[in-house]
Amino acid sequence: MFVFLNNFLVDLWATPAPFAFAKFSDLYDRFYQIFFMIDVMFAVVGYVMTLRLLDTQIRSSEPTVFGWVICLVCYEPFYNQIGNSYLNYESDNFFWGDLLGPFPAAYAIWGSVILILLLTYAWATMAFGLRFSNLTNRGIITHGPYALMKHPAYVSKNISWWLISIPFLSQASWPDTFRQTILLGLVSTIYLCRAITEERHLSREPAYREYQAWIRENGLWARVLRLARGRRLGEPSSAAPQVRS
């Protein structure tokens, strides 16, 4: 995380500020970097500030080998090796910009959706504050995007990958298109497994079970279903549970 943060800062200082760009593609590239820089910045600070003095200490750790493995494969050096060797869903090097480049309006809309998803991803990390971590419980987070869903970071990041890589619209052969789509589906499945193992771990704490119940009744998906059924959304049945030790 620290190395990534340094690289992002070097790139940020070496290029103009976002408002200096005239083209949407330049704005997209700059904000793409900024959102990931914010993510790793909060991650670095969160890891460093694991202190009982600040009530950000580790309450418990992921208890299963599978939970550790499924998390670690998402990070270097494992992710790069696995991604390049087995799950390379971008082998055709054809991305959303290649498809929509000739259509400026569609390009700007599609790119803006990706940036909104990445902003949500960064927002989810920011919501942790000093409690950011992997494989540990350092306090239940229920505010920010976590008041809408249990895994906003995983959901937003994975959707952004599908919109960026568009493996289902590959210019390669049909077998390659199918293969790339399956491979990205496997990557998303890894994150689904991460969500399952994390919930299993956190569910040992009553505060998280209370949060899960609240999301089932008041989360984004619950509200969409009520709207689809023609019921008034109204106000949530109660305020979102607060962070607890």
How large is the average pLDDT for residues 147-170?
A: 96
pLDDT, tens digit, for every residue of 59-69? Answer: 999 999 999 99
Q: Are 59 and 157 in contact (CB under 8 A)?
A: no
pLDDT: which is higher, 1 or 198: 198
Give the confidence band of 7 by pLDDT, cuts at 50, 70, 90: confident
pLDDT of the residue at 77 = 85
Range of lowest pLDDT (108-112, 174-178, 228-232): 228-232
Distance of CA 14 to the CA centre of its chain: 26
Q: Is the pLDDT of residue 112 over 90?
A: yes
Helices 174-202 and 65-72 pack at an angle, to 10 degrees, of 130
Radius of gyration of the CA atoms of the chain, in A: 20
Q: Are 58 and 50 in contact (CB under 8 A)?
A: yes
- Give the sign of the dihedral formed by CA 159, CA 161, CA 164, CA 169: negative
Return the percentage of the chain with pLDDT > 90, whole number.
70
Strand partners, 137: 60
Q: What phi and psi, each to the nearest 5 degrees, are found at residue 102? A: -75, -5
Q: Is the pLDDT of residue 167 over 70?
A: yes
Q: Is the pLDDT of residue 120 over 60?
A: yes
Give the confidence band of 177 by pLDDT, cuts at 50, 70, 90: very high
- Tally: H helices and E strands in the chain: 10, 2
Q: Where are the domains of the chain?
A: 58-228
Give the confidence band of 244 by pLDDT, cuts at 50, 70, 90: low
